[in-house]
């Protein structure tokens, strides 16, 4: 298989690199990590620059407002923006990498026209309202209910770990539209709604993380009216739509972070050489193995993106393989960073220390590692379900 880039793809890389070299020096200073309103403004400003330059939604299909780029062009974009130190999607994470692709794949023409352009322009931010206090890994056990009342659903319940709820305009919300019964298993009574976060009855309470930021929140819903036209997919078919969302979250949403991990690994090696820890053969072996892991993850990423393109744009179960290993590698990477830093690993002001705290969540977020192992075992290896 020829993995080299074509002349057209290399030309795309050259033009992108030139644009980044021109625009990045003009960006304002990055806001404090704990200032989410400031981060929203900064991230949306960057998204608007991408949109105006023709790089927003690069790999989205043209009918969804994207550029219809090839998988290789998409990967080149991620490589070059990360290597140049460009801003990441940040507050736009859910809209660009979860909700937007789901609406593009499952929404009506009217829904795509309403929600996708503001996502691509950075005009509207989305949050993810999936997990509940009693329905995390067992997401289908969710209890937030939506009762049909004419042309609206009346929604009551609560969500937790709602990503970016504090600054979001919309929420991709999972609700129960049919009670669980012998005829309706818990997976079949769920619907996927687009919830306006300024609707009466919505209360947001930020959750402070160990690092002192509030990218998550509790969301309480007290008889919130959501138009039926905001339902993506058929009523009670939300679990299938959710699997589309999660396939994007696990299959392609972390792509840029693989490149970031490779960059961190290079920095760790330089720091270890500078402070003398490179003399430890055990550390050198550890970093070498991590380099091999990152290279393998990048190849798996290329395969997943190409496979998604071949099958209509939705990543397959290979995303669970990626998510499972990437979560572990990221934790191992920042454990190695602590070894390189030594006593400085206790200083939250040092580079990589807060990232190490964040890495602890990766084996839980976007589906726990236990869930991913079940998916791999049952859907890829064909093993029987556990009893």
DSSP 273-328: HHHTGGG-HHHHHHHHHHHHHHHHHHHHHHHHHHHHHHTTS---THHHHHHHHHHH
Nearest-10 Cα torsion for 93, 98, 104, 107: -120
CA distance 74 to 252: 11
The active-site residue, picked from 249, 266, 339, 378, is 249
Chain centre to alpha carbon of residue 368: 14
Beta strands in 177-294 (DSSP E): 190-196, 202-207, 216-227, 231-232
CA distance 98 to 118: 15
Token pair of 158 as six digits: 């609560």
* Angle ∠(177,181,184) on CA atoms, nearest 5: 60
- Is 249 an annotated catalytic residue? yes
CA distance 308 to 318: 10
Number of other residues whose CB lies within 10 A of the CB of residue 175: 27
DSSP 95-128: IIIIIHHHHHHHS-HHHHHHHHHHHHHTS--EEE
CA distance 154 to 58: 37
Single out the residue of 109, 17, 19 nearest to residue 61, CA to CA: 109
Number of other residues whose CB lies within 10 A of the CB of residue 132: 22
Let me know: does 372 contact 328? Beta carbons within 8 Å: no
User: Which sequence positions are flagged as catalytic?
Assistant: 249
């Amino acid at each position: 298989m020829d993995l080299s880039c074509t002349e057209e793809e290399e030309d795309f890389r050259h033009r992108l690199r030139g644009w980044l070299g021109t625009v990045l020096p003009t960006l304002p200073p990055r806001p404090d990590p704990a200032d989410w309103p400031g981060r929203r403004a900064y991230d949306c400003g960057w998204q608007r620059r991408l949109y105006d330059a023709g790089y927003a939604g690069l790999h989205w299909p043209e009918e969804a407002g994207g550029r219809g780029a090839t998988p290789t062009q998409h990967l080149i974009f991620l490589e070059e923006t990360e290597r140049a130190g460009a801003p990441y999607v940040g507050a736009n994470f859910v809209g660009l990498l979860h909700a937007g692709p789901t609406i593009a794949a499952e929404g009506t023409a009217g829904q795509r026209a309403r929600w996708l352009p503001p996502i691509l322009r950075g005009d509207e931010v989305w949050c993810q309202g999936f997990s509940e206090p009693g329905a995390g890994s067992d997401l289908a056990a969710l209890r937030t209910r939506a009762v049909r009342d004419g042309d609206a659903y009346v929604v009551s319940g609560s969500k937790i770990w709602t990503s970016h709820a504090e600054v979001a305009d919309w929420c991709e919300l999972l609700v129960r539209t049919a009670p669980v019964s012998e005829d309706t298993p818990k997976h079949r009574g769920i619907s996927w709604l687009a919830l306006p976060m300024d609707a009466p009855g919505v209360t947001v309470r930020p959750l402070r993380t160990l690092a002192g930021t509030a990218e998550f929140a509790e969301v309480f819903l007290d008889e919130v009216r959501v138009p039926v036209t905001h339902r993506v997919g058929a009523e009670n078919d939300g679990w299938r739509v959710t699997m589309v969302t999660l396939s994007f979250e696990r299959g392609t949403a972390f792509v840029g972070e693989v490149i970031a991990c490779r960059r961190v690994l290079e920095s760790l090696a330089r720091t270890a050489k500078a402070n003398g820890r490179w003399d430890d053969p055990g550390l050198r072996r550890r970093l070498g193995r991590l380099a091999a892991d990152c290279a393998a993850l990048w190849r798996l990423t290329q395969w997943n993106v190409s496979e998604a393109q071949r099958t209509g744009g939705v990543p397959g179960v290979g995303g669970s393989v990626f998510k499972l290993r990437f979560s572990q590698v990221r934790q191992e990477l920042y454990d190695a960073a602590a070894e390189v830093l030594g006593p400085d690993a206790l200083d939250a002001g040092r580079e990589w220390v807060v990232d190490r705290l964040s890495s602890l969540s990766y084996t839980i977020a976007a589906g726990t590692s236990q869930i991913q192992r079940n998916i791999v075992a049952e859907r890829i290896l064909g093993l029987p379900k556990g009893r």
